[in-house]
Structure 1
């Protein structure tokens, strides 16, 4: 709840700067006709439009995922490609893009994982939340692009299955990563994803984002509007 949002946040936020961003917070390659944007978190949060949300008509299968990924010829789907991209130590890749071994750090909870089966690929803004926030008006092709977005590193993140399932479809007003040092980064990447895809926030979510933005004053948001 919002009354708990500021607890310890100022001392524990992860400071991001344009010169020293973690891999999952780097700016995406600019889409044709779109310019990469770099803003401090408070200014970025102010750009997220506020609107009421509705989940009417939502089903998960309206977002096709995982598709064949960035390279259909490699036999790996989006999930497998994200796992390979985010590995601290690369996994072995067998026939059919079966991954084994490797090492990942789940930034939501700071856990090291050496079994890809124990990781989920989380949509930074969950599919249901995106539907509530504007994706209900998209066509199927755009929803598929959103669900498999590897052109912005913050859109999809490999995290422990436990934290992903705790998060479910919640926004930052009701769920935050349990690792305190992850929280400013998370709010920055959440905001970047909302702006990249021109998604709205309801008032409760917007209020939460503003509280975190005050605590995470050194966090920088990088995003490129989606094509």
Structure 2
């Protein structure tokens, strides 16, 4: 469904991504610890990786707003104004990685919850370019892309949870749950150190569950 920036601006942002029909079915909620154990363990290899192999940011619905802008619109605490060519002005965002608020979109990066390089290491090297593009612009899974401070995103870089966790310690359960959600959705593997780190955090998250729809 095509949506103009003016229509987007008028919609409740929680509803923006409910407009496109989906034929996939969400899996039943799974306790975080069980979801982690269900991930396939495999060695990682970055051989051949290049960021350009994951085309982004696209404008899949051709409404004038690319993936970055769509995420900013979806995650705004206070909705920005949407101008010509989807230029955003005003608004407010909350970066949960480091417990900071921002009033300028340019201060935020859109983080791939599981970084592109990590996805490559974990199975995406075997995908078609079309599937890698779908991964890099995944607006159907709300936790796949997240608006965060540029500084926290660049600190994270392409690290997995054995190497990096958000500086705001009380967000670790959320972060590990979202990481596991994306790995589950896309059938990505984990290495031993990564799984150990996920399990360590998950021990303190008894109520956390993973619920997602398998990627097409």
Q: TM-score, normalised by structure 1?
A: 0.84
Separation in structure 2 between the aligned mates of residue 92 and residue 103 of structure 1, nearest angstrom:
11
1:223 paired to 2:212: yes
Deviation at 1:159, TM superposition (A): 0.2
Could you say what secondary structure the match of 1:75 adopts?
coil
Counterpart in the other structure of 1:45: 36
Which of 114-123 and 93-102 deviates more?
Answer: 93-102
Counterpart in the other structure of 2:147: 158
Find the partner of 1:171 among 134, 150, 160: 160
Separation in structure 2 between the aligned mates of residue 92 and residue 163 of structure 1, nearest angstrom:
25
Find the partner of 1:95 among 49, 64, 84: 84
Find the partner of 1:66 among 53, 57, 61: 57
1:144 paired to 2:130: no
Q: TM-score, normalised by structure 2?
A: 0.88
1:205 paired to 2:194: yes
Higher relative contact order (CA 8 A, sep 6+): 1
Could you say what secondary structure the match of 1:61 adopts?
helix
4+ residue runs over 6 A deviation: none
Separation in structure 2 between the aligned mates of residue 160 and residue 143 of structure 1, nearest angstrom:
25
Counterpart in the other structure of 1:109: 98
Unaligned runs of 5+ in 2: 1-13, 15-19
Deviation at 1:31, TM superposition (A): 4.8
Query: How many residue pairs get matched?
Result: 198
Deviation at 1:30, TM superposition (A): 8.9
Separation in structure 2 between the aligned mates of residue 147 and residue 107 of structure 1, nearest angstrom:
21
Find the partner of 2:74 among 63, 66, 85: 85
Counterpart in the other structure of 1:15: none
Find the partner of 1:119 among 108, 116, 138: 108
Deviation at 1:94, TM superposition (A): 1.1
